[in-house]
Amino acid sequence: MLELTTLRVGEYGTNCYLLTCPRTHRGLLVDPAADPDAVLEMCRRVYVTRIVLTHGHHDHYALGLGRVQATIHAPMGMHPADAEAFGIHPDFPLEDGRILRVGHFPVKVVHIPGHTPGSIALHFDRRAIVGDAVFPGGPGHTQTAAALEQSLFSLQRTVFTWPNDTTFYPGHGDPGVVGDVRPAFQAFLARHRPADLYGDVTWEM
Ligand SMILES: [Zn+2]
Ligand SMILES: [Zn+2]
């Protein structure tokens, strides 16, 4: 099984994740947001073959990626929609359905637009790193009512099709379990929503 290490960095408490194959010590680094010294320390015994950004928001890469990449020289990938939206130049594109190998283990890219146009999750065994697409308490922040609707539609087709015992690891704060959150998500979808609802929305509204 892939090992998952979490490091909380920067003023927004962004979660930087490291996935490691315990047999080959190859790793995939996700959102090296800030505090590059601590991120590099976390990667010290790991051969990081790729870096992935879950989405293009500053608090997920701006204060860490440059120095981390200058030291470990791993290529960085993200979804093309966020590369375009935020003017970032990835080394390789990450489209929906793409399989990344981390040593012996596959990790699947899942596109979840809404929080940003190119938000992605990385799905592996019964776990997923979801960036800011969803949190235990609600969907990720949205900037328009249309983006919230897109986010809900995306989550319905991705995260909430996963088995109940799937643990999801968000970009900030603690992980959640799909089965624990599903009732609140479904209740939210069933309730009447004001047409102008967006921003920091919780399942309880
Ligand atoms: Zn974000
Ligand atoms: Zn964030």
Q: What percent of the chain has pLDDT over 90?
A: 100
Residue whose entry in the numeric block shows the structure tokens 């328009």: 144
Ligand nearest to the CA of 34: 2
Distance 169 CA to ligand 2 centre (A): 12
The residues facing 92 across adjacent strands are: 77
CATH of domain 3-133+166-173: 3.60.15.10
d(CA 77, CA 95): 10
| pTM given for the model | 0.98
Instruction: List Cα–Cα distances, 40 to 46, 49, 116, 197, in angstroms.
Output: 10, 14, 27, 40
Closest-CA residue to 66 (of 99, 58, 93): 58
pLDDT class for 21, splitting at 50, 70, 90? very high
* Cα 182 to averaged position of ligand 1 atoms, centre (Å): 22
What is the model's pLDDT at position 76? 98
**Residue 205 scores a pLDDT above 90:** no
Q: Which ligand is nearest to the CA of 55?
A: 1
Q: From ligand 2's centre to the CA of 145, what distance in Å?
A: 19
Neighbours of ion ligand 2 (CB under 5 A): 59, 132, 171
Mean pLDDT of the region 61-68: 98
Find the 44 Cα to ligand 2 centroid distance in Å: 25
